[in-house]
Structure 1
Amino acid sequence: MIAEYMASGLLAAGVMTDLLRRRVPNQLVLLGLITGCYLCICRDGIPMGISLFLKDAFWPTLLLFPFYLLGAIGAGDVKLISALSAMTGGYRIRDLILISFLIGAILALIRLIKERQLFFRSGRVLAHLVHCILSRKISKYEPCKESELYVPFTVCIWIAYFLLNFWR
Structure 2
Amino acid sequence: METKLAPDAWQAIGLTTLALLVLAAVVFDLRQRRIPNTLVLLALGAGLIINLIGPQLWLRGGGLLTLYPSALGLKGAALGALTGLAVFLPFYLMRAMGAGDVKLMAGIGAFVGPAAAINVALFILVTGGVLAVVRMVWVRKTQLVLFNVVTALSQLVPGTAASFDPATQSADRMPYALAMAGGLLAYGAWIFSGHAPLVNF
Within the candidate set 136, 149, 166, 1:112 is matched to: 136
| Map of 1:37 onto structure 2 | 48
Counterparts of 1:33 and 1:131, CA distance in 2: 34
> Unmatched 5+ residue regions in structure 2?
1-10, 57-71, 194-201
Report % sequence identity.
26
The reply to whether residue 21 of structure 1 matches residue 19 of structure 2 is no
| Map of 2:77 onto structure 1 | 53
State the Cα distance separating 1:145 from its structure 2 match. Answer: 4.8
Q: Which has the larger radius of gyration?
A: 2
The reply to whether residue 92 of structure 1 matches residue 121 of structure 2 is no
Counterparts of 2:164 and 2:113, CA distance in 1: 31
Counterparts of 2:170 and 2:155, CA distance in 1: 22
State the Cα distance separating 1:146 from its structure 2 match. Answer: 6.4
Within the candidate set 154, 157, 176, 1:130 is matched to: 154
Instruction: Tell which deviates more after alignment, 17-26 or 50-59.
Output: 50-59
Native 8 Å contact 1:70 1:141 kept in 2: no
**One-letter amino acid matched to 1:130:** S
Tell me which of the two structures has the higher relative contact order, counting C-alpha pairs closer than 8 angstroms and 6 or more residues apart: 1
Native 8 Å contact 1:24 1:77 kept in 2: yes
RMSD of aligned Cα (Å): 2.5
| Map of 1:153 onto structure 2 | 176
| Map of 2:66 onto structure 1 | none
The reply to whether residue 76 of structure 1 matches residue 87 of structure 2 is no
Q: TM-score, normalised by structure 2?
A: 0.70
State the Cα distance separating 1:133 from its structure 2 match. Answer: 1.8
Counterparts of 2:41 and 2:94, CA distance in 1: 24
Native 8 Å contact 1:69 1:140 kept in 2: no
Within the candidate set 17, 21, 42, 1:6 is matched to: 17
Q: TM-score, normalised by structure 1?
A: 0.83
